[in-house]
Structures are given as structure tokens and as C-alpha cells.
Chains A and B, each alone.
Chain A
Amino acid sequence: MDATLHDGGRTPSPPDNGPPLREYRGKQAIASMSIDARDKNWYIDKGFEILMFFCGISAIVFVVGIFLFVFKEGMGFILHDMNMGEFFLSPKWRPTSLNNPTYGILAMVAGTAAVTILAMAICLPFSIGAAIYIAEFATGKTRETLKILIEFLAAIPSVVWGFIALSIMNPFIIETFDVPMGLGVLNSALILALMAAPIVTSLAEDAFKAVPDTYREAAEALGATRWQTIYKVVLPAAKNGLLSAGLLGVGRGFGETMAILMASGHSINIPTSVFDSFRALTATIAAELGETAVGSPHFQSLFAIGIFLFFITFLINMTADFIVRGVHKG
């Protein structure tokens, strides 16, 4: 999401026309007036203002709505079947067991976190490098072309990435590293890195663009080369923006569903090597929601995972936004 949404004080405000012609002088004056065009337009104006307002707050309504509906379904599980310690600390996810169903998400959290960290470790250096190249070195046509290519990378749907993980990456990893299965942490991390790269790159580029040109001019006037300017002036000034770009990449990693479902191998265990198969929080919901009865504890437990995901991404997005807003204020 673009930080440019913050409007600051630029919202235009026209003179309030107000209801014109309030001073009617008795019935005669009203009768002598034909339909007052300004009056009708004033009401139209007010009507649309109210309509726009209600559409404007729709984003808030939907976020609250998502929270309420996911919470409503998840609440039954949280109140009746959930054991807080087991939920967060047990790696055993056996919701379908007849005698003793256990709902532990530790293995999934560990898998998701491991993949996200590895993906960011791969993606961040390249994305920031590419962003520096686009923002500081490339000019004119080259810059435009590069930005378009990055946009294309962002446009490829997640299910196609998943298919690429299965059909291209999987045999590639099996052959290169001589392992029995190519689906797992490494495969998912590579796919996730490629998926997050365009987002992180364009956010990082925004962060560089937000550094005023006067900074660069001042540095170059003092005799610094372009690289010295970037390293000593632009990077420190853009570091909050870069941090928030990285955080949003992490948020993407936690929330990615289809690609990870197809690339992870989907077996529940805490991964110990990069070739291990794992299972992501999102993928669990995607794989099991269709097979459960509406209202059953299993169904509701998936909504509880949804609540957990909602809070994590909410926290990440808020932090990223806060970091960027700090920059704008300073």
C-alpha cells in the first residue's frame, strides 16, 4: 500500500455556498420566484457529499466487518475447545482425531517464520540494490522499462507462482542439491522472495524518491561522488522507508497462501533444514476449510488461525505505517 495516501493538508476546500436566498420575504416573494436553480443544486451537492462520505468510510466498515465475522466464527473455538498453551506451544495439529483432537500451531508458525525470514534474506539485498539502481542510477527510458518489468513481476498471480514451484523449481532443486524432494522451505522461500521482490523494490524506490534532491545536491556540491552521496546521505535518510518496505515484505510472507500451499510440501513438522517440508498457517486454512462441517470445532479452529493471522498482519502494517509516518513528520 502506498504511503502517498496520507493527504496532509492538501484537501481542497471551496467556499461554502450555503443555502442561498434564505431571506424570503413572505409568501409573495416565494410565489414570484420560479424554481431556484441554486437551491436544487445545493441539495444535490449535500446529497452527494453524504453519499461520498458513506462510501469513504467503507474501508473502515470492511476492516471492522472482517474482524467481527472472523472473530464470531473463531470465538466458539476460543471459548470452548481452545487451550491457550496447547494452541501456541504444541506442534501437533490433529483436528480430525476422534478421541483426542489437538490444535497446536507451533509447527506452522515456525515453518511460516522460517520461510519468511529466509525469503526476506534473499529478497531484501536484491530489492534494495535494484531500487538504488532504478532511483539513483538509471535514467529516462531505461528507468521506465525497468519499472514496467518490475510491475509485470508483481502481476503474476500467486497460483501461477505455486505452479512454477511445483513444475519448474521442484525438479531444479532435486537435481541441483541431489535431495529426494524439492518442495519445502528452500523452494517456498525462493518463490516468496520472487513474489515479494517487486513490492519491496517499488516501496524502497519510493523511500529513495522521498529523500529531497537538495540533500543530493548539497553532497555533490561538497565533491562527493554519486555513490558516496547514496551511501552517506541518501541511504541514512531513507532508512525508515526501507525498514517499512522490509516489514511489508514480511507481512506478504505471512499472508501468502496459494503459492506456499503448493511449494511447501504441506507436512506438519518444525523444519530443521532448508529442504524440509513444512506447513504454513495460511495453507492449513486453504487445505482444510473445504473439508470441514460449518460450525464444527475444526471449522472454528481454522477461523482462530485466521484471527491470529489477522492480528499479525495488522501489527506489521501498523508498524510499517508508523515508521513511515515518523519520516513524514520529521
Chain B
Amino acid sequence: MFEATGINQQNDQTQKRFKMLFGVMMVILIIPVIIIIGTLIYKGGPSISWSFIFDHPTNGMTQGGIFPALFGTVWLVVVSLLASVPLGVAAAIYLSEYAPDNLLTRLINLATINLAGVPSIVHALFGVGAFVVFFRFGTSILAASLTLAIMTLPVVIVSSWEALQSVPRSFREACWNMGATRWQTIWNVVLPNAYTGILTGVILQVSRAAGETAPIMFTGAAMFLPFLPNSVFDQTMALALHLFVVATQVPDVPESLPFGVALVLVGIVLIMNFFAIWIRMRLRGKKKW
């Protein structure tokens, strides 16, 4: 670091002032998170109980629990993972291991960036137009999950690509020199060394898919259902949509109920993120290259 001398004492003062300013800006960005999470815990905490988690909503959704919504969110996330993880990881393998530096690769990168930038409500329109109407899935878990899968695909592609790229090139070269084919190298050397990184991306994708509301609103999630879904062709309730419904659509909801739902949703998402960060930290500690 630069050592200050007597001559530029004033410059040093300026620097200190600016460092302080930026530090304060940083803190101002962080404070709302703490206030928000604090408020959610303070107001929603009392309504959290075993019966809140495991009961059905009652009395026109003004009382009771959130179990069908929680159950539906798990359905949606799992089915969307089944579709997007194999596809996303394979796309990342192509981009990282096979793709030559040409126009097509450039187009794939642009498409990935755009897919991530398309507004969630346009994804919803696509889901309605393609899965619900055109492929005749109706409003179902399948249609909603596929919409979610396409929406979260860029997350998987980018994080898997980063994980694959972090495997040193010399690993691949060593394997090729042993006479292995490209695929044998990928399967036996590259993927085993990249899977924790890929896993981190998948967890982040879960947290993203669990919180999305707009893409599932018209493709498969229902405001209220008296029964649990049996197959992927049924509609389902979902936690994120449930929060929207109890916060805006249902009259006379006790204040603690939406706070409780929000707390559960934020809790799930933040725990997922903690988990991903924990894996990343461990991975960084373990890496020998």
C-alpha cells in the first residue's frame, strides 16, 4: 500500500473522507435488509408453528396453515430442476468444452444474456402461449415448472460454465495425452472436479425458482385449492403466490399471517443461499490448484 508522507497529508485527508463516504453508502445498502428481516421475524415470528407449516388454510384463507402452498412449491421446484439442470449443465459443457470461437457461440452467449434479461411476465406470456395453449398441458404443474425451468436456465448455464472453466486446462491435457476421448475426459476428469461448483449454481436456482410468482401465476399455480396435487397435470398452490394472495386479494386477514408466509419464504430462500455460500467456501478451502 502507498505510504503517505508529509507532502500529501491533504490528499490523505481527502482519501479518508471518500473512504468514509463509500463505507457509509455500503452500510445504507445493507441496513434495509437488516430492517426488513428484523421486521419479518418480529411480526411474522409469532405465527410460525408446527400447525402453521402442516395445516391447510381455513376460513377463506384467513386462518390455518400453509402446507398446500409449501408442498406445491416443492413440486414446482423439483419438476423445474429435472428439466433445467440436465439441459443447463449440458449447455455449459458445450460452451466450455466444445464450442469453437465463432459466430454461433457468440449467438449462444447473447441468447443466454437475453434469456436472463427477459422480464418474468414475458416468460409467463410464453408459458401461457406455448405450454398451456399450444402444447395443451393446461394450467398444470408441468406447464408452470417448464416456464420456471426456462426462466432459470441462464442461472444454471452461467454458474456451471464458471465451474467447468475453473478446472485447470492441464487436467484435460493430461487426460488427452493418456489417449482418452473428449467425452471420457469430461465425464471422468472435468465433471468430478466441477460438480461442487455446479451444485452451488443449482442451489441458487432453487432459491430463485421458489420465489418467482409472475411466471407461475397463469401457468399452473392456483390461489386456493382444497386438495393437494396428485400428478404433474394438476394445478397447485405455491408459497410465493400465496403471499401475494393473502397480502392483496383476501379481505380481513390478520396482520401476522402474511408476515408469517413472507418469513417462511424468505427463510427458505436465505437458507438455500447460506448453503450455496457454505459449499463455495469449503470448495475454495479444498482446492489445491
**Which A positions have Cβ atoms within 8 angstroms of B?**
1-2, 4-15, 17, 41-42, 44-45, 48-49, 51-53, 55-60, 62-63, 65-66, 69-70, 72-73, 125-127, 129-130, 132-134, 137, 146, 148-153, 155-160, 162-164, 166-168, 194, 197-198, 201, 220, 223-228, 230, 248, 251, 254-258, 262, 282, 285-286, 289-290, 294, 302-303, 306, 309-310, 313-314, 316-318, 321
Task: Tell me the smallest distance from the CB of A151 to a CB of chain B, in Å.
Answer: 6
Give the residues from 89 to 131 in chain B that come closer than 8 angstroms, CB to CB, to chain A.
90-91, 93-101, 104-126, 128-130
Whether A168 contacts B21 by the Cβ 8 Å rule is no
B243 nearest in chain A by CB position: A159
Please tell me which one of the listed residues B86, B90, B99, B121 contacts residue A11 in the complex, with CB atoms under 8 A apart.
Answer: B99
Please tell me which one of the listed residues A155, A159, A194 contacts residue B213 in the complex, with CB atoms under 8 A apart.
Answer: A159
A51 nearest in chain B by CB position: B90
Given contacts A14-B182, A194-B32, are A49 and B98 in contact (CB under 8 A)?
yes
Whether B134 contacts A69 by the Cβ 8 Å rule is yes
Q: Can you list 16 contacts pairing A with B, beta carbon distance less than 8 Å? A: A1-B158, A12-B97, A13-B100, A14-B172, A14-B185, A57-B104, A126-B25, A133-B26, A146-B26, A156-B33, A158-B211, A256-B119, A257-B214, A282-B121, A286-B214, A313-B119
Bound state CA distance, A65 and B154, in angstroms? Answer: 15
Whether B110 contacts A318 by the Cβ 8 Å rule is yes
Q: Which residues of B contact A223 (CB under 8 A)?
A: 2, 8
Whether B153 contacts A225 by the Cβ 8 Å rule is no
Q: Which residues of A contact B269 (CB under 8 A)?
A: 155-157
Please tell me which one of the listed residues A52, A160, A303 contacts residue B266 in the complex, with CB atoms under 8 A apart.
Answer: A160
Q: Which residues of B contact A133 (CB under 8 A)?
A: 19, 22-23, 25-26
Instruction: Tell me if B230 counts as interface (CB < 8 A to partner A).
Output: no
Beyond A289-B218, A306-B122, A310-B118, list 7 extra A-B contacts (CB 8 Å): A11-B97, A11-B98, A157-B210, A223-B8, A257-B213, A262-B247, A313-B118
Whether B29 contacts A225 by the Cβ 8 Å rule is no
Whether B247 contacts A62 by the Cβ 8 Å rule is no
Which of A44, A134, A164, A194 is most buried by chain B, counting CB atoms within 10 A of its CB?
Answer: A164
Please tell me which one of the listed residues B39, B112, B162 contacts residue A1 in the complex, with CB atoms under 8 A apart.
Answer: B112
Bound state CA distance, A130 and B116, in angstroms? Answer: 24
Task: Tell me the smallest distance from the CB of B168 to a CB of chain A, in Å.
Answer: 10
Whether A72 contacts B129 by the Cβ 8 Å rule is yes
Given contacts A151-B277, A157-B211, A285-B121, are A7 and B94 in contact (CB under 8 A)?
no
Task: Tell me the smallest distance from the CB of B72 to a CB of chain A, in Å.
Answer: 15
Bound state CA distance, A65 and B127, in angstroms? Answer: 10
Which of B1, B114, B211 is most buried by chain A, counting CB atoms within 10 A of its CB?
Answer: B114
Task: Tell me the smallest distance from the CB of A303 to a CB of chain B, in Å.
Answer: 6
Given contacts A226-B2, A309-B119, are A149 and B30 in contact (CB under 8 A)?
yes
Q: Which residues of A contact B154 (CB under 8 A)?
A: 1, 59
Instruction: Tell me if B273 counts as interface (CB < 8 A to partner A).
Output: yes
Please tell me which one of the listed residues B30, B122, B150, B248 contacts residue A166 in the complex, with CB atoms under 8 A apart.
Answer: B248
Q: Mark B207-233, 1 if CB is under 8 A from A, else 0.
A: 110111110011000000000000000
Whether B112 contacts A45 by the Cβ 8 Å rule is no
Instruction: Tell me if B265 counts as interface (CB < 8 A to partner A).
Output: yes
Please tell me which one of the listed residues B4, B101, B270 contacts residue A152 in the complex, with CB atoms under 8 A apart.
Answer: B270
Please tell me which one of the listed residues A159, A220, A228 contacts residue B11 in the complex, with CB atoms under 8 A apart.
Answer: A228
Instruction: Tell me if B58 counts as interface (CB < 8 A to partner A).
Output: no
Instruction: Tell me if B49 counts as interface (CB < 8 A to partner A).
Output: no
Q: Which residues of B contact A194 (CB under 8 A)?
A: 32
Q: Which residues of B contact A70 (CB under 8 A)?
A: 122, 125-126, 129
